[in-house]
Amino acid sequence: MACDMFSSVQAKRLLERKFIYFYGSSNIRALYKDLVWLLSNGSLTPLDKLKVKNEISYAGDIRVSNGHIHGGRNYEEVREYNKDPYIKFQFITRLNLPSFVNAVKEFPKDPDILVINSCVWDLSRWGSDGVSQFKENIIETFILLRSALPNTHIIWLTTFPINFNCKGGFLTEEIKFIRNMLPYHVVFANKYASEIANFFNLDVLDLHYHFRFLSNHHSEDGIHWDSIAIRYATNLLLTHIGLLLDASLPGTLELDQRFIQRSERIRDGRYMLGLNTCKNALKSRIRNSILSKRRNYLKYMENKRRYLC
């Protein structure tokens, strides 16, 4: 799927009078915050804004939960952007939690779009059988969503890639030993979740696929992402929503052909410059080697002549 580039005006037009609900952990919160920032400010979200959690207000939204900041499985954070569009976010550490089930059953109004992801907390923080629990909980979650929200567009997001040396966040000191295997678990969990979502006829946006070669945009912890990467994810999500709603899309930025040709000339010029530099360096090393051997030979002959005399 190609990714269109949305401005603030275009995003507002696409999501006008829509009710959107986000469920997930910290990277989904970053996606929610970036969308809210795009709608309210139109610029790229400052990285320090994405990193903050559980603040009272952000870019015109409000925190409606009373939870405190901690790293436990019962961490709570619920936020809402009570404008047009109406957007809400709820932090979850596992699929099919009682708080999640109750929230879905007690919606005063069914959301137009529900965006959900949960994986790394499920696999790492809920005991040694986290994988089997994840498989069971995702089926129960999709059954619940399909039965409780028949008219809602439900989008399952695959989990972002994580680094083999990730640290912090959900990864406490007690479970650091699993971090080298966790990226593989995420790949298999994404595949399983996508197959189950397809079985229930849910939409899937494969963020893992789109981000698999973007590790240079990882934060230092190897879990989260910088502002550019999150905006890319936001544009992917908006493009997906636009296709779901059969709405007109803004398109991509077209590059001038002269710019492309000039870029190719610069690239080729740099290649030739690098090649010539290597050739000159090799010639210099050969010349210096020959001169050194010649000096050593002359010095040897001089010493030999003195010895014979």
> Cα–Cα distance between 238 and 183 in angstroms, integer?
27
**At 211, phi and psi to the nearest 5?**
-105, 5
The tokens 């945009």 sit on which residue?
217
- Whether the CB-CB separation of 121 and 175 falls below 8 Å is answered with no
> Is the torsion defined by CA of 233, 157, 176, 67 positive or negative?
positive
Instruction: Give the pLDDT score at 275.
Output: 57
Could you list the pLDDT tens digit for every one of the 309 residues in the chain? 568 899 999 999 999 999 999 999 999 999 999 999 999 999 999 999 999 999 999 999 999 998 788 888 888 999 999 999 999 999 999 999 998 999 999 898 999 999 999 999 999 888 778 899 999 999 999 999 999 999 999 999 999 999 888 887 777 777 777 888 889 999 999 999 999 999 999 999 999 999 999 999 999 888 999 999 999 999 999 999 999 999 989 887 665 555 445 555 555 555 455 556 666 777 777 778 778 777 877 776 777 677 666
**Integer Rg of the chain from CA:** 28
DSSP string of 65-126, one letter each residue: -------STT---EEEEESSSEEEEEE-SSTT-HHHHHHHHT-SS--SEEEE---HHHHHSS
Q: Give the angle subtended at the CA of 81 by the CAs of 77 and 146, to the nearest 5°.
A: 70
Instruction: Give the pLDDT score at 177.
Output: 76
> Cα–Cα distance between 264 and 283 in angstroms, integer?
28
Predicted confidence (pLDDT) per residue in 126-152, tens digit: 877 889 999 999 999 999 999 999 999
Instruction: Give the pLDDT score at 260.
Output: 47
Query: How far from chain centre, in Å, is Cα 271?
Result: 33
Measured from the Cβ of residue 255, the count of other Cβ atoms closer than 10 Å reads 9
- What's the CATH architecture for 8-244? 3-Layer(aba) Sandwich (3.40)
Predicted confidence (pLDDT) per residue in 218-275, tens digit: 998 889 999 999 999 999 999 999 999 999 898 876 655 554 455 555 555 554 555 5
Residue 168 zone, left/alpha/beta (φ > 0; ψ -120 to 50; rest):
left
Max CA pair span of the chain: 111
The tokens 């699929």 sit on which residue?
95
Query: Which is it for strands 153-157 and 113-116: parallel, antiparallel or unpaired?
Result: parallel
Instruction: Give the pLDDT score at 61.
Output: 95
Instruction: Give the pLDDT score at 306.
Output: 73
Beta strands in 133-278 (DSSP E): 153-157, 203-205
> Cα–Cα distance between 4 and 129 in angstroms, integer?
40
